[in-house]
């Protein structure tokens, strides 16, 4: 039987790979007009607009500030049409050796099989502690 190409299945495949430290499927699944929003009101709240900015600014920083490979433990995936919600915990360390086990909730919006938006909710206080000198 052929596997369905539903939005939930697309995200499940991406996170199956991300849990093994393979971020390429995530990056390949982004649309050119991708927007990634870190939600909140503090210094870590910002938006990255366009796939190029997401990869060159956001994800390049992930690759240089966190010991590679970047991995996550997925707790649940919930889908409703174009929106797929992923609740997860990072399984990482900073390059300085600090544990970085942030809890995340990503709301991914897909269009034509590509991720066009991620609204990311995380513990920003943990980010501050992990990445301050």
Own/partner contacts of 91-99, CB < 8 Å, gap of 24 or more, are 92/66, 92/67, 93/66, 93/67, 94/65, 94/66, 94/67, 94/130, 94/131, 95/64, 95/65, 95/66, 95/67, 98/129, 98/130, 99/130
- Domains belonging to the chain, first-starting first, are 7-130 (3.10.450.50)
pLDDT in the model for residue 2: 43
pTM comes to 0.91
Percent of the chain scoring above 70 in pLDDT: 95
Q: For the segment 50-109, what is each residue's pLDDT rounded down to a tens digit?
A: 999 999 999 999 999 999 999 999 999 999 999 999 999 999 999 999 999 999 999 999
Cα–Cα distances (Å) from 117 to 38, 49, 85, 100, 130, in that order, read: 11, 9, 12, 24, 26
């Amino acid at each position: 039987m052929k596997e369905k190409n539903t939005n939930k299945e697309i995200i499940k495949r991406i996170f199956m790979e991300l849990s093994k430290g393979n971020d390429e499927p995530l990056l390949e699944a982004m649309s050119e007009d991708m927007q990634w929003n870190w939600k909140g009101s503090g210094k870590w709240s910002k938006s990255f607009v366009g796939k190029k900015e997401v990869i060159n600014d956001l994800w390049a920083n992930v690759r240089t500030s966190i010991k590679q490979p970047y991995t996550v433990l997925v707790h649940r995936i919930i889908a409703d049409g174009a929106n797929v919600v992923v609740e997860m915990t990072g399984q990482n360390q900073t390059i300085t050796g600090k544990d970085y086990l942030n809890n995340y909730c990503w709301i991914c919006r897909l269009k034509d099989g590509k991720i066009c938006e991620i609204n990311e909710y995380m513990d920003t206080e943990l980010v501050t502690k992990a990445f301050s000198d």
